[in-house]
Structure 1
Amino acid sequence: MGETPEILWSHPQLAAAVARDDWGTVFRTYRKLTGLSQTKLGERVGLVQPDVSDIERGRRRVTSAEVQQRIVAGLGIPGTLQEAGAGAAAGQTPVSGLALPSAMPDGDLMLRVAGAVDSSRRVDAATLDWLDRLLAEHRRAEDQIGSRPLVTVMRRQLDTVVDLYAGARGPLADRVVRLAAEHAQFLAWMAQDQDDTAAALSWYDRSHEWALEAGDADMAATTLNMKAHMAWSKGRADRCVRLAEASRWSAPGTSLGVQGHAVQMAARGHALGGESDEARRLLDEAQDIISRAAEHPEDEPVWMYFYDETWFTLQRGMAAMHLRDWHTAVDHLTVGLDALPDDYRRDKTWYRTCLAHALAASGESARSATVAMASVPDAADIGRPHSWNELHTTAAVLIRQGAKEGRLLIGLLREHD
């Protein structure tokens, strides 16, 4: 292993996982950074390979103090990180970059949308049209400035929408519920973007229920697609595939764009699991669906505005990374980034950090470092935690290869921390 312990454990995803005793994420991230197999990692911590696999997949929890001590000693976890974990248990935030204002849905929202609030206010179509436009503007703003500045204002906006329900009648009542589902989905995405899994899952569940109540198949399927995306981001390939498949069979009649989203999510799940043939077959199927969707963009729900062939090219790059087809990943990510408008600042930051990782893994250390270092300011500003973690991963790959650029990148990341 080429990394020194200090540099390895400076990776924010590792630090956060230790702080919350999430040993599955510790194992997965440690192996990703070091290139160790499950067997070799098990030898370091005194566990057999099946036990390491179960811990990584969440099938087994590490509750024994003796096993935890073996993990700490075997992986060389610094004492400062363990102290941070104790601080987290006492209510302190171990990694400031992962802090997020509380965004969990409360039970009162469901009561209010079910009609528990007595209101004499009448709702008209013009008011709902205005709220539709406002939500669309906030979605586009989030592409540019990231999710953090919008969490509080979007929660208040959802409160406003829900409070309108008691004064709505007939088709307008259905529109209010549909609008509430869209707001909840957006809040879920923002929580997911900040790696707040519990809040994201709760908001997706709330959005899914409201979408079903409003008869909105596209939103119901979208929430399952986004849950699949969350499973993929957590390294849970099987769950990603199952949720994407559920999106297809549980919500028939969805738009071509939503269907294509489900198929490509299933493809990425298979790629994550190393199933190259199935991943490529589904990517080709998704490509066909998305091409047909592009012929009639007016048929797509408003929240799918970002979903086009450029975005899909970037997803092909992500799948290629999981399949360790690094040169193909570089090609797709480069083409996609060249076509992605600057309005998508958050996404451009993310995909640039992925490109830096793919370049490092393909042996192009100098080009990787150039792309990575240019991404640091935006990653520090709007790309935490995901882009920030990817830059640390890129640095670890470069250092493992003995490239001097890795330590230069680590130094720059520390300057912006």
Structure 2
Amino acid sequence: MGGRRTGLIRARKAACFTQESLAHALNVDPTTVGHWERGRSEPLPYKRPKLAKLLGVSLAKLEELLAEGTQTQAPQPATTAEPTGPSPEPTLMPRGGLLARVMVNGRPVLVPLDGATAASELGSLLPPALVAGDEASLPAAWAAEWDAMNPLSRRSLLTHGFAATALPALGLEDLERVAEAMADARRYFDGPVLDYLSRQLNACKADDGTLGPAKTLPLVLGVVGAIEEHARDVKPSIRRDLLRLGAESAEFAGWLYRDVRDFGRTLYWYDRAMEWAQAADDRAMQGYVLLKKAQLAFDQREPQRMLTLAQAVQHGPWSLPNRVQAETVQQEARAEVMLGATADAVAPKLDRARQLLGVRDDGASTLGAHYNDTLLTMQTAICYTEAGTPRRAVELYDEYLVEDRFSPRDYGFFLSLRAGSLALAGEPDEAARTGVESAARADSTSSRRTKQELVRVLDHLRPWTNRPAVAQLREVVAS
């Protein structure tokens, strides 16, 4: 078979799927989706109705997309398919400098693009296209510190695959310490290095709601990669703390992949977080990961699984902060309305969640530190919508959905939910206008999760498909 099916690719992207997430939804291998899009094979007949539904097209339209092949290309080896395992983004712009992803000793590594590095002994490791570098993009202080490092330490940072993403945040002394830790984890991987990795993770979390996963994820994967590579080599006295940090980092990586709707990688990192939490005997994190899986089940609209996981969180052998318990009870209530319960039937659970949230936590745990009364109110609105009372949800959104209470990404997400409630309440124009505003924020923060909610909004707006505001929303969602 010949041509590249550009129409099929556009339809997948418009429906906010990656090849991996679409493959996960269809229970096929990601390379299979890649073969469909490159014209090497076609979906089997029994797969086509579900594929059409996921892409939001008719079966007839799907047949047209499969017949389309406007860009021909020679067959490529299977190794050119989209990667199925976690990997850093190709390039990124961290604070204060430019990094490039290159292969060093068979491992993907982020290295600084500066002329001095290219001219040094490290230059032989870089592709020729990078030798010129981009010195102007690098701050003078960083370049000076990089040049002042012992060459062996520079090589250690690169060849051991540590997150060079963090270099601008380090002083020379810290650079040397991290380099030593990467070269000899058992001897040098100590408390200060662990503290540094923890600070980097916290900085990523603080930036996430503004920068979005496209810019935050490479940094997080760098931290996780350092932990994963050296956990087996560090001194026993620090291994448990390192695994705890690994569990926290993996859970956050799972959340970032969830925001881009790559559910396969989301589950991969949640499972890694659970494994590390068990190895570190961090029972609270084990319960927290189950809560995160319950939230993922909502994104996938699997209420039975969502209910089972939420109940498992409550009955497990761990002690969780009250704010985490509050969110868990709310998740249980939402699952029950999705399974047919009325809003009045789950009202006691929602009241219980609010009571739990009002009780101060005595422990030092930071799990669920972001969860507050405003978020619980937003989730209560979701419950009302799922229970068939969207007007009550709109009233809550109108009162509590205020921009300065949320990060840009979260504000855009809850706007998409407000748009859905408005559509179900019979207010198509206001729903569409709200959806357009939500889409702008989804684009700026790379939130495919928000875009997928807007696809659902368009489904609710089908009775008003010819209204100008609805047509505008459809255009921005497809862009």
Pick the TM interval, shorter chain: 0.7 to 0.9
Distance 1:279 1:408 in 2: 37
Higher relative contact order (CA 8 A, sep 6+): 1
2:248 to 175, 182, 186: 182
1:140 aligns with 2:120: no
1:244 aligns with 2:310: yes
In the alignment, what sits opposite 1:65?
45
AA in 1 matched with 2:389: D
CA RMSD of aligned residues (A): 3.6
Distance 2:68 2:291 in 1: 35
In the alignment, what sits opposite 2:192?
126
AA in 2 matched with 1:226: K
The alignment's TM-score, normalised by the length of structure 2, stands at 0.63
Distance 1:132 1:20, change over 3 A: closer
1:322-376 Cα deviation digits (max 9, x unpaired): 112111111222333227525x111111001111111122122232233222222
The percentage of aligned residue pairs carrying the same residue is: 21
1:285 aligns with 2:287: no
AA in 2 matched with 1:122: Y
In the alignment, what sits opposite 1:380?
443
2:63 to 61, 76, 79: 79
Distance 1:411 1:162, change over 3 A: closer
AA in 2 matched with 1:363: G
In the alignment, what sits opposite 1:362?
425
Distance 1:395 1:10, change over 3 A: farther
AA in 2 matched with 1:335: E
Structure 1 residue 204: deviation in Å? 0.9
Structure 1's unaligned 5+ residue stretches are: 1-8, 25-62, 93-98, 109-116
Kept in 2: contact 1:225–1:262 (CA 8 A) = yes
1:254-313 Cα deviation digits (max 9, x unpaired): 221222222111112112222225533322221111111xx34x6363242210111111
**Secondary structure at the counterpart of residue 401 of structure 2:** helix
Kept in 2: contact 1:151–1:187 (CA 8 A) = yes
> Where do residues 313-332 of structure 1 align in structure 2 (5 Å cutoff)?
313-332=377-396
Kept in 2: contact 1:189–1:200 (CA 8 A) = yes
In the alignment, what sits opposite 2:284?
218
Distance 2:50 2:321 in 1: 51
In the alignment, what sits opposite 1:6?
none
Structure 2's unaligned 5+ residue stretches are: 1-10, 28-42, 89-106, 108-182
Distance 2:26 2:84 in 1: 25
> Where do residues 16-415 of structure 1 align in structure 2 (5 Å cutoff)?
20=23, 22=25, 65=45, 68=48, 75-82=59-66, 102-103=85-86, 119-166=185-232, 168-276=234-342, 277-292=344-359, 295-296=360-361, 299=363, 301-338=365-402, 341-342=405-406, 344-401=407-464, 403-414=467-478
Point out the structure with max Rg over C-alpha. Answer: 2
In the alignment, what sits opposite 2:118?
none
Structure 1 residue 147: deviation in Å? 0.9
**Secondary structure at the counterpart of residue 103 of structure 1:** coil
Equivalent residue pairs, number: 346
1:157-190 Cα deviation digits (max 9, x unpaired): 1122234535644552211110011111111111
Distance 1:141 1:122, change over 3 A: same
More helix by share: 1
Distance 1:119 1:136, change over 3 A: closer
Bigger drift between 304-313 and 400-409 goes to: 400-409
Kept in 2: contact 1:104–1:202 (CA 8 A) = no
Distance 1:12 1:268, change over 3 A: farther
**Secondary structure at the counterpart of residue 319 of structure 2:** coil
AA in 2 matched with 1:354: L
The alignment's TM-score, normalised by the length of structure 1, stands at 0.72
**Secondary structure at the counterpart of residue 121 of structure 1:** helix
Kept in 2: contact 1:154–1:187 (CA 8 A) = yes
AA in 2 matched with 1:65: P
Distance 1:23 1:275, change over 3 A: farther
Kept in 1: contact 2:24–2:264 (CA 8 A) = no
